[in-house]
Amino acid sequence: MAAARTPPSPWPPPTIASLLTWSLRLVEDLADDILGAASAAKRLAADARTNPTTGSGAAALEQLLLPLLTSGAPLPATTRRGRPAVARTYLAGITGASLHQVDRMTREHRLTAANPGPCPLPVAVTGQIGGRPWRTGLDYAEAPALLRHLVTAAFVVISYLTGMRPEESLALNSGCCPDPQPSTADHPPSWNLINARHFKSARDPDGNHPSAGIPRPVPWAAIASAVTAIRVLERLTPPGRALFATDHHAHTRRDRVLGTVGLNQRITELLTWIHHQATTRGTPHETVPPDPHGPVTCSRLRRTLAWHIARQPGGLVALAVQYGHLRTPLTLDTTTASGYATRSRRGIHDLIDIETALATAETAADLHERHPHGEGVSGPAARHALRQAATTHRFEGTTITPAFARKFLARDGAVLYDNPHALLLCRYDSATALCERGTHTHTPALDRCVAGCPNMLRTDQHAAQLRHRADHLTHQAEHLPDSIAERLHTAAARLRHHADTHDATRNTREPTS
Span 90-133, pLDDT tens digits: 999 999 999 999 999 999 988 888 889 999 999 999 999 988 99
User: Is a pLDDT exceeding 70 seen at residue 452?
Assistant: yes
489 belongs to a structural domain:
yes
Tell me if 474 sits within 8 A of 480, measured CB to CB: no
User: Is a pLDDT exceeding 70 seen at residue 490?
Assistant: yes
**pLDDT tens column, 416-433:** 988 888 899 999 988 888
Please check whether residues 54 and 112 belong to one and the same domain: yes
Please check whether residues 446 and 482 belong to one and the same domain: yes
Please check whether residues 254 and 349 belong to one and the same domain: no
Tell me if 426 sits within 8 A of 456, measured CB to CB: yes
How open is the CA angle 437-443-420, to the nearest 5 degrees?
A: 100
**pLDDT tens column, 253-300:** 556 788 888 889 999 999 999 999 999 988 888 898 888 777 888 888
Report the number of distinct structural domains present in the chain: 3
**pLDDT tier, 356 (very low <50, low <70, confident <90, very high otherwise):** confident
Higher pLDDT, 22 or 219: 22
DSSP per residue, 306-329: HHHHHH-TT-TTS-TTTTGGGTS-
39 belongs to a structural domain:
yes
Q: Give the per-residue pLDDT at 332.
A: 32
Higher pLDDT, 126 or 392: 126
**pLDDT tens column, 230-258:** 999 999 998 888 899 887 776 555 567 88
Please check whether residues 255 and 112 belong to one and the same domain: no
DSSP secondary structure code for residue 377 in this structure: E
Domain span including residue 353:
345-513
Please check whether residues 236 and 197 belong to one and the same domain: yes
Please check whether residues 102 and 160 belong to one and the same domain: no
Q: Give the per-residue pLDDT at 395.
A: 72
Q: Give the per-residue pLDDT at 131.
A: 87
Higher pLDDT, 306 or 488: 488
User: Is a pLDDT exceeding 70 seen at residue 353?
Assistant: yes
6 belongs to a structural domain:
no
Q: Give the per-residue pLDDT at 3.
A: 46
Position 252, amino acid: T
pLDDT winner (highest mean) among 177-181, 342-346, 347-351, 501-505: 501-505
DSSP secondary structure code for residue 5 in this structure: P
Phi-psi region of 113 (alpha: psi -120 to 50; beta: other; left: phi over 0): alpha
Please check whether residues 148 and 75 belong to one and the same domain: no
83 belongs to a structural domain:
yes
Q: Give the per-residue pLDDT at 344.
A: 37
54 belongs to a structural domain:
yes
Q: Give the per-residue pLDDT at 445.
A: 80
59 belongs to a structural domain:
yes
Please check whether residues 438 and 499 belong to one and the same domain: yes
**pLDDT tens column, 324-342:** 434 432 223 333 333 333 3
Q: Give the per-residue pLDDT at 470.
A: 94
